[in-house]
Structure 1
Amino acid sequence: MAQIDPKSIGAHIRTRKQQLTPLERKVLDCILAKSDFDEKTSLKEIATENQVSEAIVVKIAKKLDFSGYREFRSGLAYYKQLEVANLHNDISADDTATQVIKKVFETSIQALQETMSILDISEFERCVKILVEADHIDLFGIGGSAQIAKDMAHKFLRIGIKASVYDDSHMMLMAGAVSHPGNVVLAISHSGTTIDVIEPLQLARQNGAKTIAITNYAISPIAECADVVLTSTSQGSLLLGENAAARIAQLNILDALYVAVAKQNLDISEDNLRKTRYAVKHKRTK
């Protein structure tokens, strides 16, 4: 595995979980949850505890882009000692309001810190260039991802960039069907496996549009049909799930894109900001 920020080891592992089989994911989850996992944890111990062969454990490590179990153990053991690895805590029935607030906020903090550590700057810059050069931008998303898409469209409109949001599978397919070179389609999918978003993104790409994916999993079906992939990350929680914290991270990725795009033509962006603010000024109470 290429040298990466130790703080992003956990995120690196999570973003690649989708390519594992159900059994392999179960073993990985047990390893991640193992409180006494350290540099001395043997391959045999992991295999025995999970009732699998040592070869399967090694295979999991290699699928996650480590050279083998030793490199995986070293990276994970170091990561587990870091503060960022311990920010997340599951919510329990006995938690007070103060504890709930603390845990929810810390889960979001963790998602932001780790997403920033894994964000590929070159891919981010490619994304900005594609958006700046676009004739038209379409935003695809279903459910919670659709709300993120709408927020991005709102920000773009403030600086004079009109973007269309599609959150219906049929409408997305139609938009993909009439895409052409010069168009950009930005699709948001936490899991990266939502067929209703993947199919129209594939169609748009086939018709010459540039495609961008925002997802929690670097290796996923949606990543395969995107020219540029920007990855968020968040730890799972039984009650919150991954989605809640991931949305915070994805909103911040899109906020950063918005600012980066705006500053490409700063004078025009600032002028349009003044115009759009003035247009809605009378809608506010004194």
Structure 2
Amino acid sequence: MQDISAIGAQIRSRLPQLTPLERKVADAIMADKSFNHTTPLREVAHSNGVSEAMVVKVTKKLDFTGFRDFRDHVARYKQLEVANLHSEVKSDDSSAEVLDKVFRTSIQAIEETSSILDVNEFNRAAKILFKAKFIGVYGVGGSSSVARDFCHKLLKIGIKSTVYDDSHMMLMSAAVLSDDDAIVAISHSGNTRTVVDPASLAKKNGAKIIALTNYDQSPLVNVSDVVLQSTSQGSHLLGENAASRIAQLNIIDALFVAIAREDIEAAERNYNKTQQAVSHLREL
């Protein structure tokens, strides 16, 4: 772990691997503003009502060599501006406070997603989608809006794709795919069965699977050829998905540009055609 600005995102991506008690300990440490380079292990254990061995176990499951390694990285991360952008939204916050907290949380999601996004994976995704004969985009709930936005952008440059936000339609589409096709599977958790099952079936039929998710170890990631990871830190009221959606929209904006760049002349020609087709609808 070399990029300190990515520490928060990397820790959050591994939280699903922890037990409820282990996650409670990890969350408490990350929320503790007094935690620093000198915080002793025994103090962390005592304040969380667990053994020192439990704390060490948590740090190792978060992919650190031990407590000292974890403490050093987290203490340095907490000194960064990006680490302090998020604040919990409370029911009695004023509208000004809500606006400030929501915007700052979204800014953090974008900045930390940028720090962890793998450029090589991003380039692979762009090339796969540019060459694909058919592109299907899977997403349910909040992820379906991200899926629709991506398809809308692709159509602007003449690349036809289809959004599927129904489990039956996803499975039916996956059943008739081949190795000429590609699927973009969007799931915040990577555990959504209505997305994972069709992606698995599409994979069996030879299609390339590109996952857009917050967690780098999940059933969706396990069946994917390319993983584009986002990250976000939500609150009890806001949830993670809201800020995550902002980060994912930025990823697909960049992906759209990268795909267009593969044949910029065709992209510009088709863009002009599609904009001309709807131009009269913008006139009053």
Q: TM-score range by the shorter chain?
A: over 0.9
User: Does the residue aligned with 2:243 lie in a helix, a strand or coil?
Assistant: helix
TM-score by length of 1: 0.97
Give, in angstroms, the shift of residue 54 of structure 1. Answer: 2.0
Residue 203 of structure 1: aligned partner: 201
Bigger drift between 232-241 and 154-163 goes to 232-241
The equivalent position to 2:18 in structure 1, one of 20, 32, 35, is 20
Residue 73 of structure 2: aligned partner: 75
Residue 161 of structure 2: aligned partner: 163
Bigger drift between 53-62 and 134-143 goes to 53-62
Residue 52 (structure 2) pairs with residue 54 (structure 1): yes
Superposition RMSD on alpha carbons, in Å? 1.1
Alignment of 1:94-109 (within 5 A): 94-109=92-107
User: Does the residue aligned with 2:182 lie in a helix, a strand or coil?
Assistant: strand
- Spell out, residue by residue over 1:79-128, the C-alpha distance to the aligned partner (whole angstroms, 9 max, x if none): 11111111111222333222221111111111000000111111111111
The equivalent position to 1:85 in structure 2, one of 83, 93, 96, is 83
Bigger drift between 229-238 and 150-159 goes to 229-238
Alignment of 1:199-278 (within 5 A): 199-278=197-276
Q: After the TM superposition, which segments of 4 or more aligned residues of structure 1 sit over 6 Å from their partners?
A: none
Counterpart amino acid of residue 205 in structure 1 = K
- Spell out, residue by residue over 1:14-51, the C-alpha distance to the aligned partner (whole angstroms, 9 max, x if none): 01111112221111111111121111112222222222
- Spell out, residue by residue over 1:186-216, the C-alpha distance to the aligned partner (whole angstroms, 9 max, x if none): 1000111111100110110011110010011
- Once residues 69 and 33 of structure 1 are traced to their aligned partners in structure 2, the CA distance between those partners, rounded to angstroms, is 17
User: Does the residue aligned with 1:165 lie in a helix, a strand or coil?
Assistant: strand
Q: Is the 8 A contact 2:188 2:214 kept in 1?
A: yes
Q: Is the 8 A contact 2:233 2:240 kept in 1?
A: yes
Give, in angstroms, the shift of residue 238 of structure 1. Answer: 1.4
- Spell out, residue by residue over 1:136-187, the C-alpha distance to the aligned partner (whole angstroms, 9 max, x if none): 1000000110110000000000000000110001111111111110110110
Bigger drift between 111-120 and 94-103 goes to 94-103
- Once residues 153 and 134 of structure 1 are traced to their aligned partners in structure 2, the CA distance between those partners, rounded to angstroms, is 14
TM-score by length of 2: 0.97
- Once residues 53 and 179 of structure 1 are traced to their aligned partners in structure 2, the CA distance between those partners, rounded to angstroms, is 52
Residue 121 of structure 1: aligned partner: 119
Give, in angstroms, the shift of residue 285 of structure 1. Answer: 2.1
Unaligned runs of 5+ in 1: none
Give, in angstroms, the shift of residue 242 of structure 1. Answer: 0.7
User: Does the residue aligned with 1:213 lie in a helix, a strand or coil?
Assistant: strand
The equivalent position to 2:182 in structure 1, one of 169, 181, 184, is 184
- Spell out, residue by residue over 1:242-261, the C-alpha distance to the aligned partner (whole angstroms, 9 max, x if none): 11110000000011000000
Bigger drift between 97-106 and 249-258 goes to 97-106
Aligned length: 284
Counterpart amino acid of residue 205 in structure 2 = N
Identity %: 57
- Once residues 206 and 60 of structure 1 are traced to their aligned partners in structure 2, the CA distance between those partners, rounded to angstroms, is 36
Counterpart amino acid of residue 37 in structure 1 = F
Q: Is the 8 A contact 1:19 1:220 kept in 2?
A: no
Q: Is the 8 A contact 1:136 1:182 kept in 2?
A: yes
Q: Is the 8 A contact 2:211 2:228 kept in 1?
A: yes
